[in-house]
Amino acid sequence: PFAGQKCTLSGWGKESASALAYSNYLRYVELTLISVSECQTAWTGYDVDANNLCTKPEGKGGCHGDNGGPLVNNNNVLYGLLSWGYPCATNKPDVYVSIARYANWINERAM
């Protein structure tokens, strides 16, 4: 994964912070990756490091119920899982667990 790359997040979360119910259908949104340093600047005082990926806040992103949702590239390769952020497409990046950083750990336990 690299900064500027387009990815897709999907999930069953709410459509907005004020929505009363979760989505009845799987929703998706195209997002752009940003650098870890740009994400750290946006989240000063929070734990963002090389184990994370972040997406650019463009008025769209994860919302309540989307945590754990997959972030994939255009070839449907899993890059990350939505971990945290300020919900519902605010002006802060969404933060993901980087699958590549944990691939060995995952493979050791999956085999």
**Residue 87, pLDDT score:** 80
**Residue 48, pLDDT score:** 97
**Residue 86, pLDDT score:** 87
**pTM beyond 0.75:** yes
- Residue ranges in the chain modelled with pLDDT below 50: none
What domains can you pick out in the chain, each with its CATH number?
6-110 (2.40.10.10)
**Residue 22, pLDDT score:** 94
Buried b (16+ CB within 10 A) or exposed e, 28-62: ebebebbebeebbebbeeeebeeebbbbbbeeebb
**Residue 4, pLDDT score:** 98
